[in-house]
Structure 1
Amino acid sequence: MSEIKAETLKEVLSKMLRTNIFSVEFQTKHLHGGTVGKVQLVTGNAETTNGEKLPFKIVSKMQKKWERYGDPDSWRREYDLYKSNIGALFSESFRWPECYHVEMNEEENETQIWMEYIEGISGLDLTGEMYECVAEELGRFQGKLYAEQPASLQNLTNLSKVEYMKDFYLNYRSWKRVYDYIRSDDCGIPKHLCEMLINIDESADEIFNRIEKLPIVLCHRDFWVTNIFHSDGKTILIDWDTTGWGYLGEDLASLIADEADVEHMVEYYHRCIPAYYKGFSEYADISHITDNCVYEMILLLFGYRLVEWYLNEGAGSNLHIQTLQKVYEMQKRENLSKSRRYN
């Protein structure tokens, strides 16, 4: 399955173009994405049985078996999700790419998914208005599923566990390389940022007690800007292999902090949370929630990861320190806002 076969491509294009394809000429281009696999844009011309030539663009995603920490079946999750009928749970304004064909090579432990090629604005080209729109649509999607509890979702067996964030954090915290570094005398990260991370460690049990009171929702769990496409006011998400049960706001932490627009992080933090809660509250009453824990989730998911990235890239790169500084400023500004409300 490692190479694209013309016969398979003709079958896939017949479904995509809704007509019988007689022959096809194509070329491929590697796309960024896929943890252990190959993602390719396939373009060319397909000839129908009556001689008409139709141009096409389609994505082939081949994924080999690999084991993500704490989530061993994630390598085949996107295949399992596309084989299920949860596609019906999406809306026109919030969805995944349409899938035309899936295959599983059991002997090679490899999946292949043929899906729609998405064109739109993505990555750091997303504007503040788009961030806000994406956050609201995410809230609306999760709120609808939370309120309706559809059987098709409850019956899925290959979803990441609700404990994934906690296990992820505890695993990172156990790495002496990052844990000891922020506590060492020769640490190159400013002291106030190290103290922010140490405070999270010291308060972790209490923080998780608060997080675990939040609603459990279906999370994408790789909800960062490169996986988000905004097109004509609609949100399309790619890469669903980490999808599973998580907590309200967990995906927001990724949207705001995962290789994000550092210059606007604080602004997006304060814009996206209200938008997200607005979308969710269209389907479920969450007026009783006064502690969204998004700030804490950002540090649990990305605090030690940013330290690791900083160590990997060396002291010459300060992007990750800048990111930690913006996270520090988020809470500082929030504490100031609370102080003004209560005085």
Structure 2
Amino acid sequence: MREIKTETLTLVLSKLLGTKIIGADYQSNQLHGGTVGDVHLITGNAENTDGVELPYKIVLKTQKKWERYNDPDSWRREYDFYKSNFGALFSETFRWPGCFHVEMNEGETETQLWMEYIEGISGLNLTGDMYERAAEELGRFQGKLFAEQPAFLQEMTNVSKVDYMKNFYLHYRSWKRVYDYIRSDECKIPKHLCKMLIDIDERAEEIFSRIEKLPIVLCHRDFWVENIFHSDGKTILIDWDTAGWGYIGEDLASLIADEADIEHMVEYYHRCIPAYYKGFSEYADISHIRDDCVYEMILLMFGYRLVEWYMNAGEEDNLQEGDDERTLHIQTLQKIYEMRKE
């Protein structure tokens, strides 16, 4: 991470702490990141004009320009969202992290976001009640936007497109490495799970014809447990760089299947879908929907990805870790299989 400018740090901390800051020290610890983006927790003590020292924590997210398949401007989406009025759409119980300063470098190849540090429960530490709460809050948020159709949101240009899920699936399906593998004699994935995936391929046109009749809503598109925080009874959702127009229920596929809680996966499938529609129904009548297609969306979005992860497991790790990973991906596919069988 490059050195932080003193004037930027004091500006940000003045907003964060609600007092004029004249100086501050800092330490930086990487939370996660890589070649595309880096996220650091910045901590230290700040001094205000009265000479009072105030401890602080804040997140600095640096995002470099890159092109995601079928969504080339996603790298700057959070910057664009935070520069807009999007934050006003949230509620007390469902929101994103507060942002205190945004910057774009002169060459428009990198953004910096100074954001609130969220302390709460996340990832596989989320309980079933928290899963259900997150699903209901998301439904309520999407239902409100669907009903009210905020004008500025309709005018925003940097959002992912409604056909993103379909193009993502077709891109994976065209990849012969995974497509041919589940149809080959060398495939070690249980045959009934391969058949589940092949059946989806054979019915894809009919499935998408049903999905495309569903209401179009603003999707987060990365609504998985590592991006969901439960704090003081509130749901806080981070990482909005893939957000855009999609179909009602689409985000539930990520909540249920993306690096899932295997032991409770089927249970959460049955708990989260009704909770989501309960929240959505507070703002819009969706009683006419008889087939939400969430099960099919899970397979369309994660079927081939799980096959890829299975095939890649152990390539850079020891044999035991590879075996454990492959077992996890098979278990995930098995739980998806069990969802429809119940």
TM-score tier, shorter chain, comes to: over 0.9
The change in CA–CA distance for 1:256 and 1:112 in structure 2 (over 3 A counts) is same
Distance 2:46 2:34 in 1: 27
SS in 2 for 1:235: strand
Distance 1:34 1:82 in 2: 22
What TM-score, normalized to structure 1? 0.95
Divergent runs of 4+, >4 A = none
Distance 2:28 2:2 in 1: 13
1:28, distance to aligned residue in structure 2 (A): 0.6
Q: Does 1:227 align with 2:227?
A: yes
The aligned length equals: 333
Q: Percent identity?
A: 79
Query: Could you tell me which amino acid in structure 2 is paired with residue 32 of structure 1?
Result: H
Q: Does 1:326 align with 2:339?
A: no
1:32, distance to aligned residue in structure 2 (A): 2.0
Indicate if the aligned counterparts of 1:34 and 1:61 stay in contact, CA closer than 8 A.
no
Indicate if the aligned counterparts of 1:122 and 1:228 stay in contact, CA closer than 8 A.
yes
Distance 1:56 1:109 in 2: 29
Q: Does 1:8 align with 2:8?
A: yes
Distance 1:35 1:120 in 2: 27
CA deviations 1:47-81 (Å, max 9, x no partner) are: 00110101100000000001100000000000000
Which residue of structure 2 aligns with residue 38 of structure 1?
Answer: 38
Bigger mean CA offset, 315-324 vs 49-58: 315-324
Indicate if the aligned counterparts of 1:165 and 1:301 stay in contact, CA closer than 8 A.
yes
Bigger mean CA offset, 39-48 vs 4-13: 4-13
Q: Which residues in structure 2 correspond to 1:190-269 (within 5 Å)?
A: 190-269=190-269
Q: Which residues in structure 2 correspond to 1:291-330 (within 5 Å)?
A: 291-314=291-314, 316=323, 317-330=326-339
Distance 1:253 1:206 in 2: 19
1:132, distance to aligned residue in structure 2 (A): 0.5
CA deviations 1:273-312 (Å, max 9, x no partner) are: 0000000000000001010100000000000000000000
Distance 1:25 1:76 in 2: 29
Structure 2's unaligned 5+ residue stretches are: 315-321
Query: Could you tell me which amino acid in structure 1 is paired with residue 131 of structure 2?
Result: Y
1:127, distance to aligned residue in structure 2 (A): 0.5
Which residue of structure 2 aligns with residue 337 of structure 1?
Answer: none
Structure 1's unaligned 5+ residue stretches are: 334-343
Query: Could you tell me which amino acid in structure 2 is paired with residue 213 of structure 1?
Result: K
Bigger mean CA offset, 282-291 vs 35-44: 35-44
Indicate if the aligned counterparts of 1:2 and 1:62 stay in contact, CA closer than 8 A.
no
What TM-score, normalized to structure 2? 0.96
1:33, distance to aligned residue in structure 2 (A): 4.7
Which residue of structure 2 aligns with residue 85 of structure 1?
Answer: 85
Which residue of structure 2 aligns with residue 120 of structure 1?
Answer: 120
Distance 1:285 1:277 in 2: 10
Distance 1:186 1:104 in 2: 49
SS in 2 for 1:47: strand
Q: Which residues in structure 2 correspond to 1:133-172 (within 5 Å)?
A: 133-172=133-172
1:16, distance to aligned residue in structure 2 (A): 1.2
Query: Could you tell me which amino acid in structure 1 is paired with residue 340 of structure 2?
Result: Q
Distance 2:233 2:170 in 1: 38
Distance 1:123 1:321 in 2: 20
Give RMSD over aligned pairs.
1.1
1:3, distance to aligned residue in structure 2 (A): 3.2
